[in-house]
Each structure stands twice: as C-alpha cells, then as structure tokens.
A and B are shown apart, each in its own frame.
Chain A
Amino acid sequence: MDIMPKWAEVFLVPLISLILAAILSAVVILAIGENPIDAVSIMIKGSVLSVRGWGYTLYYATNFIFTGLCVAVAFHARLFNIGGEGQAALGGLGVALALLFIPWPHWSIALAAATVAAAAFGALWALIPAYLQAARGSHIVITTIMFNFMASGLLNYLLSNSLKPIGQSDPATAKFNAAFDLPTLNGVLTQMGYKAARDDSVNITFLVAIAACFAVWFLLWRTRLGYQIRAFGQSETAAKYAGIKPVRITMIAMMISGGLAGLMAINTVMGEQERLVLNAVEGAGFIGIAVALMGRSHPFGVFLAALLFGFLYQGGAELALWTNIPRELIVVIQALVILFTGALDNMVRMPLERLFLRLRKPEAPPPTAPPPPGPTRPDHTPEGTVKEA
C-alpha cells in the first residue's frame, strides 16, 4: 500500500538522498584539505557560467542520458545491466566501421548509418549475457562485468592491429572523413555571429539523446512490448501465466538496453574524437547506473540526473585543472549518489513514511466505525494487502 503520496516518493526521497550524498562529498573535500564552497564555485563557474562550460556539460550529459536510459530500461525488466561500459565500447566499434569504409554522401546519412551501427553493436554485445541469464540462469551482473573486460580486450586488440593505420603508433583508427563532422553548438553560434568557444563540444547528438528519452518513455508506457517488459520485471511468474515469454523479453530488453549504451558512441566517437581511440567510454557506462537510480528509471528523471552528472563531470574536470583535487572526486561522488539513492534508499524512506503516517492518522476512521471497503481510502480496509495476518 502507498503510505506516502506519489510526489514524495518520486521527488522528495531522491532529493533528500542527493542532499545526503552532497553533504558527504563536502566532508570528503574538507578531509583532503580543500574548501568545499570554493570547490563548488569553481565547478559552477566552469560548467554553467560560460558557453564553453555549457557546451561540455551538455556534451557529457548526452553520454549519461544514453547510458542512464540503458540501465533504466534493463531495470524495468528487473535486470541489472552493468555492461553499459562494454556495450558503449562496442558501439564505438560499430561507428568506426560504419564511417571508415563507406563514403556516405552527407553527414546526416552518415549519422543515420552510425546510429544504426552503434545501436546494433551495443545490442549484440548485450545479447550473450542476456541469453545466458534467460536460458541458463547465469548472473547477469557478473556476466556483463566480464563482457566489459572482454570488450576492452577486443578493442585493444583491434586498435593495435587491424584497425590501426600503417605507420601510426598510438592505438586508434584513422580520422573519419571530415565531411561526416556533426553540427555543433559552437558551429551554430558562430554562424549566428556569436563569439563561441574555441573547441567543439556538444553536438547534434544531444538532440538524438532527447529523442531517445521520448522513445523510451513511449516504448515503456504506450506499447505492448513495453507493457510486457514492465510486467515481466514486476513478476516473472505472473508473466508466464499471462503468456509473456521470459527468455524473449529478457533478450529484447537487454538488446534495447545495450543498443542505448551503444548510441553513446555517436556522441563521443563520431561527434567529438572523430576517430576511435582506446577507452573512449571513460566510465560513462558506470555513471549510467547512478543516473538511472537517481532518475528513478524514468526517462525524464534520467534526463535531469544526466544533466546533474554532466555538471559534476565538467565541474570536476575544472577542479582537477585549478586545484589539487583529482578527477577521482567524481568517482567518489558517483559512488555516494549510488549508495544513497540506490542502496540506502530505505534510510530516507522509512522515517518519511513514519512522518506521513503520523500526518494522516487524524483523518483515519475511528476504530469502531463499520469498515466496508471504503471507496476513497482503500488503504484502510482491514484486509489491505495482508495475506495472512
């Protein structure tokens, strides 16, 4: 039964968790001898008080939207996909293969091709763990972690051998055709006569990411497939009773999840680096976990959480530049967010529930009142959801 109103569950709980994570992060900064207020002001200045800052904040947010959606879709099927990192890496391979060898006539067509390739490669990398989970019961958390390592081994091999242009020393592919460069915010601003920053950052992929949010929302709450994914995630036994096939849904949900992670590569590989390098994902796959948890697995929540992490990431880079605080601070903050919004969720919820229970007690009907199942207060029927009280 719902003790708390929905707004408290959806906004208040994550907000309080976030504040707790922020307080602890401040403690960590204090402990290493820096001033948290200075740190925050450097972060804000470097990420949202300039066009250049915004460019990077949104660039990182784009990555996190994709990986956050990746984890969120899997969560809806009650699958914990930690493999976003590897799936995004493979997505990068897809992008590289699509752009290195085919002379697309226009960047937009190249973008479409790269999108398809990125999603397909990411989805395929998620397919084997999905199959093993669905058909053989292998723990998907551990298999997806293993697939992250294997992805990095595979890319390492390909980039140091077959995909490396002859005569180049660093493990990376050749530059893509310059005609495939994606339109960037900087480019648009420059055309409009606004003096923009020097470096490219956020590009058109940001719009693709927003479209992906809508697409995921539509999929989950408006289509039959989404209905089946959610039903399966809530109860596998019930899904079987209803004729929803667990193996099929697990595999489809994981492929969608992996595909979303793969899409991240169009932002990094095609939009930013314009070639495939080692470690192009840079932990964004893992940040997706924090983003999905904070966003309560809802696309809009994921969008907001991704913006926040975009800010943290860009701000953290600035911190590392101007202070002695290493970039690893972001990893700590990310860990604290996962801990508080994901694992210690009840620590916030339980006292809140007690509070709400106390607030509503006076409205409850007196104990002697005849208790027919009230039309407005179902929670007060004596049976409630009590199976055997």
Chain B
Amino acid sequence: MDFLTIIQVLDGTIRLAIPLLLACLAGLFSERAGIFDIGLEGKMLMAAFFSAAVAYSSGNAWIGLLAGIAASMALSAIHGIASITFRGNQLISGVAINFLAAGLTVLIAQDWFSQGGRTPQLSGAARFNAIELPGALTRIRDIRDAGPFMQLYSELISGHSILVYLGFLTVPLTWWILFRTRFGLRLRAVGESPEAVDTAGVSVVGLRFAAVAICGILCGIAGAYLATAIQAGFTKDMTANRGYIALAALIFAKWRPWYALYACLLFGLFFAIDNRFQNIEFFGIGLPVQFMQSLPYILTVVILAGFVGRAIPPRAGGEPYVKER
C-alpha cells in the first residue's frame, strides 16, 4: 500500500465521517438535554430528500440545504411534542420518526418525480461542489507525481465541499457552547437534573425544545450533505443506518464533542476501508465482503458492551420530566 493510497483512504474517511459527525453532534445536543433520539436516521433521511428535491427545482444547493434543515426540524418538532410536551416514550417516538421518514420520502419522491422513489440527478450549482484550496493540484496524474506533502494537501486537505469544513468547525463550536456559555450550562443541567433547572427559575420545556431544534438543524445539514454533496441526488434509504452508527459513536465519545470527532473518524475509516477494498486478506484468510460490511455494526456492539470503557449517560436522559409529588 503506497502513501497515496493511504491518503486516499483517509480522504474517504473524512467524506464518510462528516455526516456521522454532524448527526453525532446533533444527538449530543439532544441527549445532553435529556432527550434520547434514535430518530437521527429519519431526520437525516428526510433532510436528504428535501434538500435534493428543492436543490433540483431551484438549482441552488443552499436553498436545498435550508429546505433540508426545515424538514429535519419538522420531525424534531414531532419528537419534541411527543417526548417533552406529552411526556411520551422517547424511544418509541424515535422509531416512529424513522419509519415516517422512510415512508414519506419515497411516497413524495414518487409523487413529485415518478422516478421510482428517487430525485433526478443534481448537477452544477444544485450540488455542493468541491472547493479547491489555492495551489492544490486537481488532476490525479499530477497528484500521483507530486511529493508527499503536496499529495497530502491536494488530496486530503483540499477538495472537499464547504459542508465538510463547516462540519469540522462544528466541533469546537459545540464545545464552546456547551462549556463556555450560559445556554450550555443550562443545557447540561437539564439533562442531569431537570428539577434543579426548574427550581432555579429556568424553563425545562424551553431548554429541551431548544436542544431538540439544534439537533434538527445539525441532522438537516448531515442529510443535505449526503444528498447534495457526496451524492448527486436522493435515493431510497440513502442514509444507510448512519443515524444508528452516530448514536453508537456518541456513546463511545461519552457525550463529549472532541471525542465525538475521534469516534466518527474511526467509523469513517471503517467505511472508507470497506469502500476501497472489497475483499481483504487477513493472515491469509479472505474475509467475505458481507463481513466487512457488518464490521461497523460489530464494532458498535463491542463499544456498547463497554469493552472500551464504560460510559455514563446524562442522568435524566430518556425520562420525561414530571414534577415529583
């Protein structure tokens, strides 16, 4: 394996890690506020469809992005009403949202475009195209002949869409909000002890809705990235379980932003390796492609089993806030 191959795998890692990272941070805001959300998958899917559909008809990826965010936030609102206002079961609400998205996207896609539940191909300004940083090489032949630093710069650092760079910026931003602002203090408090927040004169419902809304925005960006940056359009079930993997990464990261980045890069690496090498020889034994595809799921179970350190979730997580009597 030469240096360029490694760089290309890492490049793929970044591309595949970004939607995971955005979804993971989305989950982080929600769960830090005490609202479990297994509906990340559904929100991303809904956002993917609406961003692609609107980007196609408007010809503008940014308008598509806004539409994706709006769609995702609509599902967030449902989750909030069910689990905050009506104190319903958060897991069940999340499951419902995932099915709702899986069904509605195909239903609407078929109604609007009649292409078997997908959107037409996006091109030009309807997509988020790669940004070439100054001085970066673009032709693969030039890159192959360049020195290692130039390869690193051109292949790995340059040539991503704006959403990738935004995605990375979200990590320090999340950290700063969480640990350096009043809102962050209250958000962390409401996930640990909503009664402390309530008796301190702050609205539990307001805080939780804010968290769920942020979760919707980030899922929206993640979905738009999938459909208008990585791919050129929406296809059925295109999120491919990334929402669940993001949840596992969140647990692995122990609900902390920087660790979330590392966890998502790790999962991204797995997907990138799987994408690049269909069959891997491991000590002379060929591993079947199905095994490679299952690897992220197996890894998730191993992480959840706590073999890589035990994670303590936010104390009030998953429980609706009912004033004790």
Residues on A with beta carbons closer than 8 Å to the beta carbon of B82: 339, 343-344, 347
Residues on B with beta carbons closer than 8 Å to the beta carbon of A146: 244, 248, 297-298, 300-301, 304
Distance of A286 Cα from B94 Cα, bound (Å) = 13
Contact of B305 among A132, A145, A147, A389 (CB under 8 A): A132
B-facing residues in A353-389 (Cβ within 8 Å): 386-389
Contact of B288 among A137, A145, A161 (CB under 8 A): A161
B266 on the A face (CB < 8 A): no
CB distance B96 to A332 under 8 Å?
no
Residues on A with beta carbons closer than 8 Å to the beta carbon of B294: 149-150, 153-154
Distance of A328 Cα from B81 Cα, bound (Å) = 25
Distance of A388 Cα from B325 Cα, bound (Å) = 6
Residues on A with beta carbons closer than 8 Å to the beta carbon of B90: 343
What is the distance, in angstroms, from B5's C-beta to the closest C-beta of chain A? Answer: 26
List the one stretch of B103-111, B187-195, B256-264 in contact with chain A.
B103-111
Distance of A331 Cα from B293 Cα, bound (Å) = 26
Distance of A324 Cα from B298 Cα, bound (Å) = 39
A-facing residues in B289-312 (Cβ within 8 Å): 290-291, 293-294, 297-298, 300-301, 304-306, 310
CB distance A286 to B99 under 8 Å?
yes
Distance of A335 Cα from B89 Cα, bound (Å) = 14
Contact of B297 among A149, A286, A289 (CB under 8 A): A149
Residues on A with beta carbons closer than 8 Å to the beta carbon of B244: 142, 145-146
Q: A136-B306, A138-B301, A329-B107 are in contact. Are A347 and B86 (CB under 8 A)?
A: yes
Q: A335-B97, A343-B92 are in contact. Are A153 and B306 (CB under 8 A)?
A: no
Residues on B with beta carbons closer than 8 Å to the beta carbon of A147: 297, 301
CB distance B92 to A342 under 8 Å?
yes
What is the distance, in angstroms, from B289's C-beta to the closest C-beta of chain A? Answer: 8
B102 on the A face (CB < 8 A): yes
CB distance B96 to A339 under 8 Å?
yes
Distance of A213 Cα from B100 Cα, bound (Å) = 29
Indicate with 1 or 0, residue by residue over A160-184, a CB within 8 angstroms of chain B CB atoms. 1100000000000000000000000
Residues on B with beta carbons closer than 8 Å to the beta carbon of A312: none
B87 on the A face (CB < 8 A): yes
A157 on the B face (CB < 8 A): yes
Which single residue of chain B is at the shortest CB-CB distance from A344?
Answer: B82
Indicate with 1 or 0, residue by residue over A122-159, a CB within 8 angstroms of chain B CB atoms. 00000011001000111101110111011001101100
CB distance A326 to B107 under 8 Å?
yes
Distance of A142 Cα from B108 Cα, bound (Å) = 29
CB distance B95 to A143 under 8 Å?
no
CB distance A138 to B91 under 8 Å?
no
Interchain Cβ contacts within 8 Å, total number: 156
CB distance A328 to B117 under 8 Å?
yes
A32 on the B face (CB < 8 A): yes
A102 on the B face (CB < 8 A): no
A105 on the B face (CB < 8 A): no
CB distance B306 to A138 under 8 Å?
yes
B251 on the A face (CB < 8 A): yes
Distance of A328 Cα from B100 Cα, bound (Å) = 10
B-facing residues in A95-142 (Cβ within 8 Å): 128-129, 132, 136-139, 141-142
What is the distance, in angstroms, from B148's C-beta to the closest C-beta of chain A? Answer: 37
B241 on the A face (CB < 8 A): yes
B151 on the A face (CB < 8 A): no
CB distance B306 to A32 under 8 Å?
no
A300 on the B face (CB < 8 A): no
B72 on the A face (CB < 8 A): no
Distance of A32 Cα from B294 Cα, bound (Å) = 37
CB distance A32 to B107 under 8 Å?
yes
Contact of A326 among B100, B117, B301, B325 (CB under 8 A): B117
Most chain B CB inside 10 Å of its own CB: which residue of A28, A132, A344: A344
Q: A138-B306, A139-B304, A387-B325 are in contact. Are A324 and B110 (CB under 8 A)?
A: yes
Q: A143-B301, A328-B103, A334-B103 are in contact. Are A339 and B291 (CB under 8 A)?
A: no
Indicate with 1 or 0, residue by residue over B192-229, a CB within 8 angstroms of chain A CB atoms. 00000000000000000000000000000000000000
Indicate with 1 or 0, residue by residue over A329-355, a CB within 8 angstroms of chain B CB atoms. 111111110110011111100100000
Residues on B with beta carbons closer than 8 Å to the beta carbon of A243: none
What is the distance, in angstroms, from A345's C-beta to the closest C-beta of chain B? Answer: 6
CB distance A339 to B241 under 8 Å?
no
Distance of A345 Cα from B102 Cα, bound (Å) = 22
Distance of A156 Cα from B294 Cα, bound (Å) = 11
A5 on the B face (CB < 8 A): no
Residues on B with beta carbons closer than 8 Å to the beta carbon of A345: 86, 88
Residues on B with beta carbons closer than 8 Å to the beta carbon of A193: none
CB distance A338 to B304 under 8 Å?
no
A217 on the B face (CB < 8 A): no
Distance of A142 Cα from B91 Cα, bound (Å) = 10
B78 on the A face (CB < 8 A): yes
CB distance A389 to B325 under 8 Å?
yes
Distance of A336 Cα from B98 Cα, bound (Å) = 11
CB distance A350 to B96 under 8 Å?
no
Residues on A with beta carbons closer than 8 Å to the beta carbon of B300: 142, 146
Distance of A324 Cα from B115 Cα, bound (Å) = 12
CB distance A157 to B301 under 8 Å?
no
A82 on the B face (CB < 8 A): yes
CB distance B100 to A335 under 8 Å?
yes
Distance of A387 Cα from B104 Cα, bound (Å) = 46
B137 on the A face (CB < 8 A): no
CB distance A328 to B251 under 8 Å?
no
Which single residue of chain B is at the shortest CB-CB distance from A34?
Answer: B111
CB distance B86 to A344 under 8 Å?
yes
Instruction: Rank and list the top 5 A-B pairs by shortest CB-CB distance, nearest first.
Output: A331-B103, A335-B99, A343-B93, A332-B103, A342-B92
Additional A-B contacts beyond A129-B301, A324-B110, A324-B111 (11; CB < 8 A): A136-B306, A137-B306, A146-B248, A149-B294, A150-B294, A150-B297, A331-B102, A338-B95, A343-B96, A347-B86, A387-B324
